[in-house]
A and B are shown apart, each in its own frame.
Chain A
């Protein structure tokens, strides 16, 4: 059974960089696409971006200039850095797997439990 687990600080100061990692267990990160999704308190879901096992990335233009997503296949882990954070970046951050095979994709089938990151001084 594939499991994803987010880790990182729960409190970040304004203007600093939010850094999270997602560790994948029960399966290899060397296939599929790996996404970050966030959800501000009481609001809907926003896709932040993805990384493939090869390191190719795609980011939401609304956050693109501030987002870096990377993968470390040796650790079966991928990471998110979001720079210059403000209170508007306060949210639950989820990592998720987008299952893809032979050019077809099948939605986000595994999710981490989510981690609340609060931006505050």
Chain B
């Protein structure tokens, strides 16, 4: 099973700032089958990034994914109030599919 470790656990920033979220895998995520999701409390997760770096339909270009192998990053530029949420990474290359424990992006 591929274990995903996200850091930091909580990130406190102000609107307008940039955010960098990390996801490290216990073994290589082949084909870069790594996705990022945003979850607002009380709502279902929303796909932001798939294939490590491809934005999902309708996702702002302020969200960028990068990385390969075992180290992946989600960067969010010019934070807006709606961006403050919990972010999860997920690998979908091998079963069981696994999620990271989440990064809580909160308003400073």
Residue positions of A touching B, CB distance < 8 A = 35, 37, 44-47, 58, 60-62, 94, 96, 98, 105-109, 111-114
Selected from A44, A47, A112, the residue in CB contact (under 8 A) with B101 is A44
Prevailing SS type, chain B contact patch = loop
Q: A46-B99, A106-B50 are in contact. Are A112 and B44 (CB under 8 A)?
A: yes
Complex: chain B residue closest to A58, CB-CB: B95
Selected from B47, B95, B102, the residue in CB contact (under 8 A) with A108 is B47
Prevailing SS type, chain A contact patch = strand
Q: What would 20 more interface pairs be, CB under 8 Å, given A45-B102, A47-B98, A61-B1? A: A44-B102, A46-B99, A47-B99, A58-B95, A60-B95, A62-B96, A94-B45, A106-B51, A106-B54, A107-B90, A107-B92, A108-B35, A108-B45, A108-B92, A109-B56, A111-B44, A112-B44, A113-B43, A113-B44, A114-B44
The answer for the CA separation of A66 and B97 in the assembled complex, in Å, is: 18
Q: A44-B99, A47-B98, A114-B44 are in contact. Are A108 and B90 (CB under 8 A)?
A: yes
Give 5 closest A-B pairs by Cβ, nearest first. A107-B50, A107-B35, A111-B44, A47-B97, A60-B96
Residue B88 CB within 8 A of the other chain:
yes
Interface residues on B, range: 20 to 34
CB pair A61–B92 under 8 Å, yes or no, is no
Residue B33 CB within 8 A of the other chain:
yes
Complex: chain B residue closest to A99, CB-CB: B50
CB pair A45–B88 under 8 Å, yes or no, is yes
Set of chain A residues within 8 Å of B1, measured between Cβ atoms: 61
Would you give 15 A-B contacts (Cβ < 8 Å), ordered by A? A37-B45, A44-B101, A45-B90, A45-B99, A58-B95, A60-B95, A61-B96, A62-B96, A106-B54, A107-B35, A108-B45, A108-B90, A109-B50, A109-B57, A111-B45
